Structure 1
Amino acid sequence: MSKTIDYYLVPQSPWTYFGHQRFVQIAKDAGATVRVMPMDLGKIFPISGGLPLGKRAPQRQAYRLVELARFSKSLNLPLNLHPKFFPVQGDPAAKLIIAVDMHHGTDAALAITGAVLSAVWHEEHDIADAATLAALLSKHQLDAACLKLSNTPEVQSRYDSNTQSAMDAQVFGAPSFVIEGEMFWGQDRLDFVAHKLKL
């Protein structure tokens, strides 16, 4: 029987960017069901001990840049260490992913997630801008109406529900993968995710 993976993410996370395509392939190879669950880390950090990037100690911020460069080279994924549009408000893109999921289904939601992540970290686009999001929909041949849908109370309710679900699952960072109640935090835990899916 195939397993279900709750995929908790934020669309402005470089770590989610690094892991996204590998995760999609791992889930596909395992025949797993993915629930794409963008969440609001701004609500999770205060109850989990996390801090927004700008409030972290200088040595932590400096080491983050070292690690980003290492992973970019190791994974052969292009990444701008200082993207033009970062920090960036993630809510509009998160809600667009939810809207695409509702309108087109999981595969499309995963595709637009990858596009949004690449837009921030590789292509230097502003994912808080409606025109950018509309262009990404068009590029992936997804219904332009998803942008309007993303601003509805229905989508906001699902965004809030995802965030509460993340809290209930003890999620504190992105990306996080929850399989049968077991959490795996970080793109560098994907080998463990793959192993779990084989059990």
Structure 2
Amino acid sequence: MGKICEYYFAPHSPFAYLGHARLLELAAGHDAQIVVKPFDLSKVFGLSGGLPLAKRAPQRQAYRLKELTRWSEYLKVPLNLHPTYFPVQSDAAAKLIIATQLAHGTAAALTLTGAIMRGVWADERNIADADTLIAIANELDHDGQNLLKSSETASVQAEFDRFTDEAAAANVFGAPWYVVDGEGYWGQDRLDFVGRALASK
């Protein structure tokens, strides 16, 4: 078994979506273990001085759209710049991912994560809607109804809160954020460095 990569993300993050498949490929190539840590990005923004998208300066918002277009075309990952259901509250989706990890393991949680992200950015699905989350889980051959019930328990909430606290303690200020050997890497455009870290002795 190779190294461990802690994976902090918010399910509605377009940059996490763009990097998700590449992270899985890197981990497989280096026999690395991914630790899935969906967290409350809005809380971390509040602690680190970040601003939600709607409150950012116009030039920052415009550049974000250019970057999303560039990366989507470069990676050949479909992405709708203006999805119907965005901005979207993603806490329920994050907790469904945690419940899936607890019930079925990391690989299942990562597969569900990819499907949820794709739902926002390519498939025009509302990941704040309970029936939509159930349907996405069912499409992956899970019992979506039971997983959703599990995601609403105190134990899953505690995990979500723990990941958020760990993100704050690790000085995370955006998503996606990857940690290898205690060193953080912000953004899917840093995955080359993550790969080097996973490959190092």
Asked if these proteins are the same fold (TM beyond 0.5), I'd say yes
1:156 aligned onto 2:147:
no
Q: Could you say which residue in structure 1 is the equivalent of 2:168? A: 167
1:127 aligned onto 2:127:
yes
Q: Separation in 1 of the partners of 2:143 and 2:109?
A: 12
Deviation of the 1:29 alpha carbon: 1.2
Q: Could you say which residue in structure 2 is the equivalent of 1:181? A: 182
TM-score normalised to structure 1 length: 0.98
1:83-108 deviation digits (Å, cap 9, x = unpaired):
00000001010000000000000000
Structure 1 runs (4+) greater than 4 angstroms displaced: none
Structure 1 letter corresponding to 2:182: G
Deviation of the 1:143 alpha carbon: 2.7
Structure 1 letter corresponding to 2:71: F
1:91 aligned onto 2:69:
no
Deviation of the 1:46 alpha carbon: 1.3
Matches within 5 A, 1:98-109: 98-109=98-109
Q: Could you say which residue in structure 1 is the equivalent of 2:55? A: 55
1:66 aligned onto 2:66:
yes
Deviation of the 1:180 alpha carbon: 1.3
Q: Separation in 2 of the partners of 1:8 and 1:64?
A: 20
Q: Separation in 1 of the partners of 2:73 and 2:108?
A: 28
1:169-199 deviation digits (Å, cap 9, x = unpaired):
1111100000111001100011111110111
SS in 2 for 1:37: strand
Q: Could you say which residue in structure 1 is the equivalent of 2:24? A: 24
Structure 1 letter corresponding to 2:190: R
Q: Separation in 1 of the partners of 2:77 and 2:164?
A: 28
What's the RMSD between the two structures over aligned residues?
0.8
Q: Separation in 1 of the partners of 2:97 and 2:119?
A: 14
Stretches of structure 2 that go unaligned for 5 or more consecutive residues are: none
Percent identity, aligned pairs only?
Answer: 54
Q: Separation in 2 of the partners of 1:194 and 1:65?
A: 26
Q: Could you say which residue in structure 2 is the equivalent of 1:11? A: 11
Q: Separation in 2 of the partners of 1:39 and 1:114?
A: 16
Structure 1 letter corresponding to 2:165: Q
TM-score normalised to structure 2 length: 0.97
Q: Separation in 2 of the partners of 1:189 and 1:107?
A: 22
1:88-145 deviation digits (Å, cap 9, x = unpaired):
0010100000000000000000000000000000000000001110111111112321
Q: Separation in 1 of the partners of 2:177 and 2:95?
A: 18
Q: Separation in 2 of the partners of 1:101 and 1:77?
A: 25
Q: Could you say which residue in structure 2 is the equivalent of 1:191? A: 192
Stretches of structure 1 that go unaligned for 5 or more consecutive residues are: none
Q: Separation in 2 of the partners of 1:170 and 1:109?
A: 24
SS in 1 for 2:6: strand
Indicate the larger mover: 115-124 or 43-52.
43-52
SS in 1 for 2:23: helix
